[in-house]
Amino acid sequence: MKLIAIILSLLFIISANLIGQKHDYNWLFIEDYYPDNGLGEAALINFNTIPPTISAPDNVLITAWTSVAQMSNTNGELIFFTNCCEIHDASFQLMENGHDINPGPVHQQDCFYPQISPGYSAGPQSCMAVPMPGSDRYYYLFHIAKEFPPNSNIPRSCVLYFTKIDMQQNGGLGAVIEKNVPLFDYCLEMVPIANLTAVRHANGSDWWIISPFLYGNGYHKVLLTDTGIVSVTEQYIGQDRTGVFFSQITFSPDGTLFAHCTNDLGLQLYDFDRASGTFGNPRFFPIEPDAGTQAGAGFSPSGRFLYACYNWVLYQYDLWAQDVAASRILVAEYDGYADPIPTHFYMMQLGPDCKLYMFCSSCTTIHVIREPDLPGLACEVVQNDIQLPWGMRGGGAPTFPNYRLGAIGEPVISCGPISGTATPPPVEAGLHLYPNPAGIAITVEWEGAPVSAGMITVRNSMGKEVLQAPAAFFSGRTELRINTLPPGWYSLYVQAGAERRVARLVVQR
């Protein structure tokens, strides 16, 4: 018993440390800046409160286009942000040595015209920040840059840089200590690249940075460790892409699946080995040829459901189904709203509050999938659910990796709890779990259960069955002991006769 208590305590400490990784708790949307009066137009969503707080800071002294990134510390405090022309600190001033990010002719065009910076234009997901493994002091900013091909005035994204930031400089405001260090450069060959995302290594500390070629089926893989960049490799797998610009790449919360959604092909899904950094088992889910010009993808907190959007349609795939392609269901169609630009469906980001947020291009509203771990229309898509005081330019919305992902074998935490208190997860109609979160036992109540006897199955965030127990619904209620489950998020299935219900359970001690 003493050994079990020690193990449970260690699991709780690991879970608490992962929950404390609040690097994605501030989302900054930048629209404009007026140097004549020193005022900026921006919107900030702060996830340190329930519900998130929306504000309009007027001291953001840059304008952003498609290339944006930002970072909060482990306590959820905004520490820096960038439009990939320059980096600003928590005081909303230019960080020391934070100028001239992505140097070259395109920088001169995008960052000094006409008198203020309209922001860099390498495309959505072209700029991303992660903490250096094993450190709360250093951060790496990865950013894609563009160059002009010979005899052309249309630049191409062709080089990946990193910039290193030391947050202990200047009284905690930080300073750039390495800048524009190239990781790979295809500008001479003019081979374009697109998108950035990241996932924790199997050790729970290092990072894999992923960036695909725009054309073909190649992917770059950069390994960042506590000693710095240790490898840059390539892998070729899956369907060839034709070079359509509007796309999104993302990992499942547990890092075992990788989705690449493009408006020319549709949805590609791969297995990913977090230890070796290898993609495998490619699957392809094509989209209709008239799907539109924008595409995005996002996973539910448990990783069971994958969402793919194309301009005016949003689909849900059940990755636990025997036939994933056949599980596709249309969960939303664009409702025609414009503000004044049509609020088409575009990129997605899982929030710290376990909701899935869907952005549009150059607009002031955000669509929200409120219950992304529920099947079909129960996922509750609310279009234009959030009204921002200012908008985002060209799809310049923040995207973040899962900073809370630990080593293989540790609890998978993709979101929540917020401010130390877990938000009660969603349940299907008629099914109630209480208390939730819980640590020892829960009561499962099914209003109108078709029979008095049934079966309860609990699966972890990777879909593995971890608990099964018979259920006797006396007066519609039964008790389930969960004291053997480590802290984390779970899906609880209740089967009674021919009917089944599902709910999300939080184990917390």
Mean per-residue pLDDT, 245-270 = 93
Work out the number of other CB atoms within 10 angstroms of the CB of residue 277.
21
Residues 203 and 271 in one domain: yes
Question: Sorting pLDDT into bands at 50, 70 and 90, what band is 113?
Answer: low
Domain boundary among 353, 387, 421: 387
Across the strands, what pairs with 224? Answer: 207, 229
For residues 369 and 456, membership in a common domain is answered with: no
pLDDT (tens digit per residue) in 133-176: 999 999 999 999 999 887 778 888 999 999 999 999 999 999 99
Same domain, 127 and 200: yes
Which CATH number does the domain housing residue 82 bear? Answer: 2.130.10.10
51 found inside a domain: yes
Q: Name the range with the highest mean pLDDT among 112-121, 338-347, 374-383, 436-445.
A: 374-383
Q: Do 88 and 203 lie in a common domain?
A: yes
Residue 253 lies in a domain: yes
In 311-414, at which residue ranges do the beta strands (DSSP E only) sit? 313-318, 329-333, 348-350, 356-358, 365-369, 381-387
Q: What is the CATH number of the domain that holds 472?
A: 2.60.40.10
252-263 mean pLDDT: 95
Q: Give the pair of three-digit tokens for residue 491.
A: 């899906």
- Domain contains 89: yes
Whether pLDDT at 479 is above 60? yes
CB 375 within 8 A of CB 331: no
Q: Is the pLDDT of residue 396 over 50?
A: yes
Final residue in a domain of this structure, among 387, 412, 443: 387
344 in the same domain as 270: yes
Q: Which of 387, 419, 448 is the last residue of a domain?
A: 387
Q: Is residue 225 pLDDT above 90, yes or no?
A: yes
pLDDT band at 10 (very low <50, low <70, confident <90, very high): very low
Domain that holds residue 323: 23-387
Residue 375 lies in a domain: yes
Is 390's pLDDT higher than 90?
A: no
Q: Is residue 30 part of a domain?
A: yes
| Same structural domain, 448 and 324 | no
Model confidence band, residue 245 (pLDDT cutoffs 50, 70, 90): low
Neighbours of 205 (CB within 10 A): 17
Domain identity same for 372 and 436: no
> How much is the pLDDT for 316?
98
Do 216 and 321 have their domain in common?
yes
Tally: H helices and E strands in the chain: 2, 33
Q: Are residues 44 and 113 in the same domain?
A: yes
- The answer to whether residue 12 sits within a structural domain is no
Q: Token pair 């230890």 is at which residue?
A: 275
Number of domains into which the chain is organized = 2
Give residue 394's pLDDT band: very low, low, confident or very high (50, 70, 90): low
Q: Name the average pLDDT for the chain.
A: 87
Query: Is 13 a domain residue?
Result: no
How would residue 5 be classed by pLDDT, with cut points 50, 70 and 90? very low
Q: Clarify whether residues 147 and 227 are in a common domain.
A: yes
Q: What is the pLDDT of residues 43-96, one digit of tens each?
A: 999 999 888 999 999 888 888 878 899 999 999 999 999 999 999 999 999 999
Amino acid found at 109: Q
* Same domain for 212 and 68: yes
**295-319 average pLDDT score:** 94
* Domain shared by 486 and 378, yes or no: no
* % of the chain with per-residue pLDDT over 90: 55
pLDDT of 114 > 70? The answer is no
Amino acid at 431: L
Of the pLDDT bands very low, low, confident and very high (cuts 50, 70, 90), residue 3 is: very low
Establish if 8 belongs to a structural domain: no
Global pTM value? 0.81
